């Protein structure tokens, strides 16, 4: 084959766990063995966004996608795909609608319907090589800023772009920079918030792992505009690979003269440090995060003073999320006007969503703001797993809410979602089907908030515990008539009186599920039934004597010994409900489908 | 210099000294030093905390306050292999609880516990960022995803 080819093997956290790392070496060897090393190169990339189908591998320039590749497949990929130019069909993705294999990324909705700005390098370059970044216009944004623009002009450009913070609240980024810039001080800091605490969101991890230089460049530009000379990236300790790639990138940027003193020959100096978090969700809150860097317990404090006035070590500080920073180089390179063509009137640009849960295609999805939930879940996500029915989508993590089917045509942007009782938040989208119990989900989030509450203020510390206890009782079938009113009262009180966002938004999952799925609460309380058949205590198992073949398998496997019957005496098999621990083993074991759950 | 005495110095102690010296002069040294110390000792023994307190001139009570605030820090030793089971949202809706159950049954310990032979310590966490592969666990930072209860025994067998 004459044409030069690049094989992009994903080496992100997800694919590494599915066995991607050995594939890279074996592939390189096999390419050599079959004499292709002149024309084919192998690149280990960061997350390609399609982790569930990993290890994934993309062949450029055609953009052919292979999924679930194992090291045993390597030889065939080389001899069949690279030499003969024929697809290895069993490794192609199966389209769930047509049930046919698809090979080109442009034919796969998961990729073709995305618009990747922040993720444009993720899964395409080797994140451990600065040259891979600079070859794709990397560091051109800071060059332009330093050579052609004053700090004020940079800030104006960001303001004009309409970029809003991707860390949750959606605060206009340029405006925030302006506050910090205006505060007179000999020393200012900027911080990148990479604490990514929302369980179910992993876009910040992927950006740091797959394109760390874009975050560094964004911070450089911000520091120049604000007048800061030192920065921190606060990364959660659960992301060792992200920390490693970031540290490598910082070292390379220092060597290349992008970090340090007199950057690119200007008088601008900037140093960047990495701080590994120590496992506390609340440290994602900006004042708690700064306390943590200072070596204290990470507890939020009252604002004002805002960080822009008094932040890290009392100095003016500007803090933004990973994805926010990573947007900046693109805005500088291509201009604010270019950026404003994406998105809605008040929410510009794209947003990365982490699509997870009961959906066919899980992964990272970057779409223009204003895309509907239906497009994300059913076009890009390819619908619900196992042909089940969609029930709800949880947006924005523990601070967000669940939206039902009839809200699927909502355009996703900051203001619409907040109005609907959810929030964009970090961008976690957890899809739930008919087997997910909404009361249990509310209980799940309250358990999370209760555990992560720092305990500084009473409404949050005590209130989340009380709300959790009520929800826990309801899922056990011990709900009381007045519980729903009590929950609502508590929720509003806690919302209004808590000190920080954790407490203020902890009741959101309850309020949203009460609004859209009240009937599920009522079924638990009044009928002692869980409509989703999820809450163990409310289940009952019965044997259909018509279908039962009296094989005794269920009785032999029941851990509670509560199934009796006898073929010889023709005594039908029955379950003693009082002793049954609702483990479901009998139903799994019965080969004749004679046992049902209600 | 007499080489015999050198062997009496605990190599972990030397590493701890190095960590302290590396961070001593930076702003806010405490958390990085605690993280480094935990890496060396596997947990934070009382004598280490006392030593850090002296070296960094930070009251022991404050250090204890920090250690107990963050989930990452441990005051008791862990087993040879640390299992983190994810119960983040994505893992929760895809059956993470069944994985917890299976592991607890298999190892006969619960969240936070260590097996008698010190082979495994079990810790429930919320999200390790591999949500696309839910449900997941990680053992010594190695992620295992797309789990079903049946896959647990085979995975555990790989760790001594
Ligand atoms: C409890 C809590 C947790 C938070 N966690 C995060 C987080 O993990 N990552 C993040 O970027 N912002 C998080 N935030 C929001 C930050 O406080 C802050 O608003 C954000 O980093 C600002 O960046 P942005 O303007 O770029 O969005 C959290 C807020 C609260 C109240
Ligand atoms: S609202 Fe909760 S997490 Fe926030 S300061 Fe109060 S107790 Fe701490
Ligand atoms: S659900 Fe479990 S305890 Fe109940 S009858 Fe079946 S096997 Fe026995
Ligand atoms: S396993 Fe099924 S068929 Fe066999 S005894 Fe039990 S209910 Fe009947
Ligand atoms: S880690 Fe490979 S696609 Fe996400
Ligand atoms: S929710 Fe389990 S890895 Fe994110």
Q: Which candidate, A539, A541, A535, places its Cα nearest to that of A554?
A: A541
Is there a single domain that holds both residue A250 and residue A358?
A: no
pLDDT in tens, A296-338: 999 999 999 999 999 999 999 999 999 999 999 999 999 999 9
For chain B, say whether A234 makes contact (Cβ under 8 Å). Answer: no
Place of tokens 């729903």: A484
Cis amide leading into B41 (omega within 30): no
Is there a single domain that holds both residue A194 and residue A332?
A: yes
Whole-complex ipTM: 0.92
pLDDT of residue A96: 81
CB atoms A14 and B143 under 8 Å: yes
Stretch A511-527: mean pLDDT, rounded? 96
* Degrees to nearest 5, angle at CA A16 with A10 and A19: 100
Q: Which candidate, A414, A395, A393, places its Cα nearest to that of A405?
A: A393
Distance A425 CA to ligand 5 centre (A): 22
- Which residues of B are less than 8 Å from A313 in CB distance? 27
Q: A373, A401, A433 — which closes off a domain?
A: A433
Name the pTM for this structure.
Answer: 0.94
Distance, CA of A70 to CA of A510 (rounded, Å) = 43
- A384: helix, strand or coil: strand
Q: By residue range, what is the domain housing residue A557?
A: 539-597
Is there a single domain that holds both residue A388 and residue A453?
A: no
Stretch A412-420: mean pLDDT, rounded? 91
Question: Residue A427 is part of a domain; what is its CATH number?
Answer: 3.10.20.600
Q: What are the E-state strand segments in A405-481?
A: 428-433
B5 appears as a binding residue in the annotation: no
Q: Which candidate, B37, B135, B103, places its Cα nearest to that of A278?
A: B37
Ligand with an atom nearest the CA of residue A14: 5
pLDDT of A68 above 60: yes
- Which residues of A are less than 8 Å from B128 in CB distance? 13, 238
Whether residue A118 lies inside any domain: the answer is no
Among residues of chain A, what percentage have pLDDT more than 90?
93
Question: Residue A63 is part of a domain; what is its CATH number?
Answer: 3.40.30.10
Whether residue A246 lies inside any domain: the answer is yes
Give the closest-approach CA distance of B115 to chain A in angstroms. 23
Whether residue A511 lies inside any domain: the answer is yes
Whether residue A532 lies inside any domain: the answer is no
| Residues in contact with ligand 6 (CB, 6 Å cut-off) | A 199-200; B 86, 88-91, 127-131, 134, 136
Distance, CA of A158 to CA of A391 (rounded, Å) = 39
CB atoms A17 and B130 under 8 Å: yes
Question: Which residue from B minimizes the CA distance to A453?
Answer: B69
What is the best residue among A583, A597, A598 to mutate for testing ligand 3's pocket, by most ligand atoms within 8 Å of CB?
A583
**The two structure tokens encoding residue B49:** 């905390």
Distance A544 CA to ligand 4 centre (A): 9
Q: A112, A138, A167 — which closes off a domain?
A: A112
pLDDT of residue B4: 53
Is there a single domain that holds both residue A156 and residue A254?
A: yes
Is there a single domain that holds both residue A171 and residue A297?
A: yes
What is the best residue among A299, A302, A451, A504 to mutate for testing ligand 2's pocket, by most ligand atoms within 8 Å of CB?
A299
Distance B133 CA to ligand 3 centre (A): 30
CB atoms B65 and A279 under 8 Å: no
- A166: helix, strand or coil: coil
Q: Which atom of ligand 1 is nearest to the CA of A167?
A: 27
Positive or negative, the Cα torsion across A434, A52, B110, B45? negative
Give one DSSP letter per residue of A241-306, joined into a string. Answer: HHHHHHHHHHHHHHHTTSSBSSGGGSS--BEEEEEE--S-GGGGSHHHHHHHHTTS-------SSP
Ligand with an atom nearest the CA of residue A563: 3
Report the run of H or E that residue A1 belongs to, with start and end: none
Q: Are A562 and A575 in contact (CB under 8 A)?
A: yes
- A209: helix, strand or coil: helix
> CB count, 10 Å around CB of A481?
8
Whether residue A121 lies inside any domain: the answer is no
Distance A266 CA to ligand 4 centre (A): 80
Phi first, then psi: give them for residue A182, nearest 5 degrees. -70, -25
What is the best residue among A538, A584, A590, A594 to mutate for testing ligand 3's pocket, by most ligand atoms within 8 Å of CB?
A584
Q: Which long-range contacts (CB under 8 A, 24 or more apart) does B98-103 make?
A: B98/B135, B98/B149, B99/B135, B99/B137, B99/B147, B99/B149, B99/B152, B100/B124, B101/B149, B102/B149, B102/B152, B103/B137, B103/B152
Is there a single domain that holds both residue A420 and residue A446?
A: no
Distance, CA of A454 to CA of B58 (rounded, Å) = 22
Question: Which residue from A minimizes the CA distance to B29?
Answer: A295
pLDDT of residue A571: 93
CB atoms A354 and B131 under 8 Å: yes
Is A499's C-beta closer than 6 angstroms to any atom of ligand 2? Answer: yes
Place of tokens 């139903």: A587
Q: Which atom of ligand 6 is nearest to the CA of B130?
A: 3
Give the closest-approach CA distance of B50 to chain A in angstroms. 17
Q: Which candidate, B85, B82, B105, places its Cα nearest to that of B153?
A: B105
Question: Domain total for chain A?
Answer: 5
Distance, CA of A417 to CA of A431 (rounded, Å) = 16
Give the closest-approach CA distance of A364 to chain B in angstroms. 8
B127 appears as a binding residue in the annotation: yes
Is there a single domain that holds both residue A477 and residue A413?
A: no
Question: Which residue from A minimizes the CA distance to B84?
Answer: A238
In a mutational test of the A interface, the residue from B129, B140, B150, B158 whose CB has the highest number of chain A CBs within 10 Å is: B129
Tell me the angle at which helices A458-475 and A438-452 cross, rounded to the nearest 10 degrees.
150
pLDDT in tens, A115-152: 999 999 999 999 999 999 999 999 999 999 999 999 99
Give one DSSP letter per residue of B1-60, joined into a string. Answer: --HHHHTTS-HHHHHHHHHHHHHTTSSS-HHHHHHHHHHHHSS--HHHHHHHHHHHT--H
pLDDT of residue A1: 45
Q: Please state, rounded to an integer, the average pLDDT across all residues of chain A.
A: 95
CB atoms A276 and B142 under 8 Å: no
Give the closest-approach CA distance of A441 to chain B in angstroms. 8
Q: Which residues touch B132 (CB under 8 Å, ≥6 apart)? A: A14, A50, A51, A52, A54, A202, A354, A356, A362, A363, A364, B90, B145
pLDDT of residue B9: 78
Whether residue A370 lies inside any domain: the answer is yes
- B100: helix, strand or coil: helix
Partner A, chain B 46-105, Cβ-Cβ below 8 Å: 58, 65-66, 69-73, 86-94
Is there a single domain that holds both residue A449 and residue A548?
A: no
- Which residues of B are less than 8 Å from A352 in CB distance? none
**The two structure tokens encoding residue A257:** 């003269």
Pairing mode, strands A230-235 and A93-94? unpaired
Place of tokens 């790989």: B158
Question: Residue A502 is part of a domain; what is its CATH number?
Answer: 1.20.1440.230
Give the closest-approach CA distance of B3 to chain A in angstroms. 37
Q: A340, A371, A404 — which closes off a domain?
A: A340
Stretch A542-563: mean pLDDT, rounded? 94
Whether residue A119 lies inside any domain: the answer is no
* Burial of B56: CB neighbours in 10 Å, binned 0-12, 13-18, 19+: middle
- Which residues of B are less than 8 Å from A278 in CB distance? 31, 34-35, 70-73
- Which residues of A are less than 8 Å from B69 in CB distance? 280, 297-299, 454
| Residues in contact with ligand 4 (CB, 6 Å cut-off) | A 543, 548-554, 573, 589-590, 592, 594-595
Distance A282 CA to ligand 2 centre (A): 8
Distance, CA of B22 to CA of B9 (rounded, Å) = 20
pLDDT band at A477 (very low <50, low <70, confident <90, very high): very high
pLDDT band at A169 (very low <50, low <70, confident <90, very high): confident
pLDDT in tens, A199-217: 889 999 999 999 999 999 9
Ligand 3 atom 7: the closest Cα is on which residue?
A558
pLDDT tens digits, chain B, 160 residues: what are they?
Answer: 455 555 567 899 999 999 999 999 999 999 999 999 999 999 999 999 999 999 999 999 999 999 999 999 999 999 999 999 999 999 999 999 999 999 999 999 999 999 999 999 999 998 998 999 999 999 998 999 999 999 999 999 999 9
Q: Which residues touch A23 (CB under 8 Å, ≥6 apart)? A: A9, A55, A57, A69, A70, A71, A74
Question: Which residue from B minimizes the CA distance to A196?
Answer: B129
Is there a single domain that holds both residue A28 and residue A85?
A: yes
- Which residues of A are less than 8 Å from B28 in CB distance? 293-295
Question: Residue A546 is part of a domain; what is its CATH number?
Answer: 3.30.70.20
Is there a single domain that holds both residue A446 and residue A427?
A: no
Is there a single domain that holds both residue A134 and residue A62?
A: no
Whether residue A168 lies inside any domain: the answer is yes
The upper half-sphere exposure of residue A83, i.e. CA atoms within 13 Å in the direction of its Cβ, equals 15
Question: Residue A303 is part of a domain; what is its CATH number?
Answer: 3.40.50.11540
Is there a single domain that holds both residue A324 and residue A383?
A: no
pLDDT of residue B6: 55
Stretch A212-233: mean pLDDT, rounded? 98
Give the closest-approach CA distance of B111 to chain A in angstroms. 14
């Amino acid at each position: 084959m004459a044409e030069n080819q690049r094989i992009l093997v994903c080496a992100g956290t997800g694919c590494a766990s599915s066995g991607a790392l050995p594939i890279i070496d074996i592939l390189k060897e096999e390419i050599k063995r079959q004499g292709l090393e002149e024309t084919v190169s192998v690149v280990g990339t960061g997350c390609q966004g399609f982790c569930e189908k990993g290890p994934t591998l993309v062949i450029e320039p055609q953009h052919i996608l292979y999924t679930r590749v194992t090291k045993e497949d390597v030889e065939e990929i080389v001899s069949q795909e690279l030499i003969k130019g024929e697809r290895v069909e069993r490794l192609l993705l199966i389209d769930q609608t047509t049930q046919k294999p698809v090979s080109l990324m442009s034919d796969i909705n998961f990729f073709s319907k995305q618009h990747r700005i922040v993720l444009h390098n993720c899964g395409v370059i080797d994140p451990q090589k600065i040259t891979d970044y600079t070859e794709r216009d990397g560091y051109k944004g800071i060059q332009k800023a330093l050579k052609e623009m004053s700090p004020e002009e940079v800030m104006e450009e960001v303001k004009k772009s309409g970029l809003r913070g991707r860390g949750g609240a959606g605060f206009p980024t340029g405006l925030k920079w302006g506050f910090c810039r205006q505060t007179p001080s000999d020393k200012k800091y900027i911080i990148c918030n990479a604490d990514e605490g929302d369980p179910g969101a992993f876009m910040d991890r992927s950006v740091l792992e797959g394109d760390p230089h874009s975050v560094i460049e964004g911070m450089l530009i911000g520091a120049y505009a604000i007048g800061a000379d030192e920065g921190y990236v606060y990364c959660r300790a659960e992301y060792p690979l992200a920390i490693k790639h970031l540290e490598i990138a910082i070292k390379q940027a220092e060597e290349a003269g992008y970090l340090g003193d007199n950057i690119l020959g200007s008088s601008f100096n900037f140093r960047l440090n990495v701080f590994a978090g120590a496992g506390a969700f609340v440290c994602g809150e900006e004042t708690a995060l700064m306390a943590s860097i200072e070596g204290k317990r990470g507890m939020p404090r009252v604002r004002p003073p805002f960080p822009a006035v008094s932040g890290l070590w009392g100095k003016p500080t500007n803090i933004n999320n990973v994805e926010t920073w990573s947007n900046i180089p693109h805005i500088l390179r291509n201009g604010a006007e270019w950026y404003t063509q994406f998105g809605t009137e008040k929410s510009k640009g794209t947003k990365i969503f982490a699509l997870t849960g009961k959906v066919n295609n899980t992964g990272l999805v970057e779409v223009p703001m204003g895309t509907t939930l239906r497009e994300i879940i059913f076009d890009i996500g390819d619908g619900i797993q196992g042909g089940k029915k969609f029930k709800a989508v949880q947006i924005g993590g523990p601070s967000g809410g669940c939206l039902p089917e009839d809200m699927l045509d909502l355009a996703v942007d900051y203001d619409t979602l907040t109005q609907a009782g959810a929030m964009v938040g970090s961008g976690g989208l957890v899809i739930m089907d008919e087997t997910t119990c909404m009361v249990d989900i509310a209980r799940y989030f309250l358990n999370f908030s209760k555990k992560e509450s720092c305990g500084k203020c009473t409404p949050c510390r005590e209130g989340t515990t009380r709300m959790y206890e009520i929800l826990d009782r309801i899922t056990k079938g011990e709900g009381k008539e007045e519980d729903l009113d009590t929950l609502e009262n508590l929720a509003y009180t806690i919302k209004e009186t808590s000190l920080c966002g954790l407490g203020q938004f902890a009741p959101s999952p309850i309020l949203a599920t009460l609004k859209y799925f009240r009937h599920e609460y009522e079924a638990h309380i009044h009928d002692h039934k869980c409509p989703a058949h999820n809450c163990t205590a409310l289940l009952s198992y019965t044997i259909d004597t018509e279908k039962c073949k009296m094989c005794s398998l269920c009785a032999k496997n029941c851990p509670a010994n509560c199934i009796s019957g006898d073929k010889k005496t023709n005594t039908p098999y029955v379950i003693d409900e009082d002793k049954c621990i609702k483990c479901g083993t009998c139903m799994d074991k019965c080969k004749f489908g004679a046992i049902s759950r209600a | 210099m007499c080489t015999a005495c050198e062997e009496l110095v605990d190599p972990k102690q030397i590493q701890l000294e190095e960590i302290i010296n590396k961070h001593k002069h930076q702003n806010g040294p405490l958390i990085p030093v605690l993280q480094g110390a935990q890496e060396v000792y596997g947990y934070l023994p009382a004598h280490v905390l006392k030593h850090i307190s002296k070296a960094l001139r930070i009251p022991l009570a404050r250090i204890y306050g920090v250690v107990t605030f963050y989930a990452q820090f441990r005051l008791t030793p862990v087993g040879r292999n640390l299992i983190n089971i994810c119960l983040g949202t994505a893992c929760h809706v895809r059956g993470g609880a069944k994985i917890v159950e299976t592991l607890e049954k298999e190892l006969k310990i619960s969240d936070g516990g260590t097996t008698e032979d010190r082979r495994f310590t079990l810790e429930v966490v919320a999200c390790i960022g591999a949500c696309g592969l839910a449900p997941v666990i990680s053992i010594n930072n190695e992620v295992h995803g797309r789990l079903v209860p049946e896959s647990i025994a085979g995975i555990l067998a790989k760790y001594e």
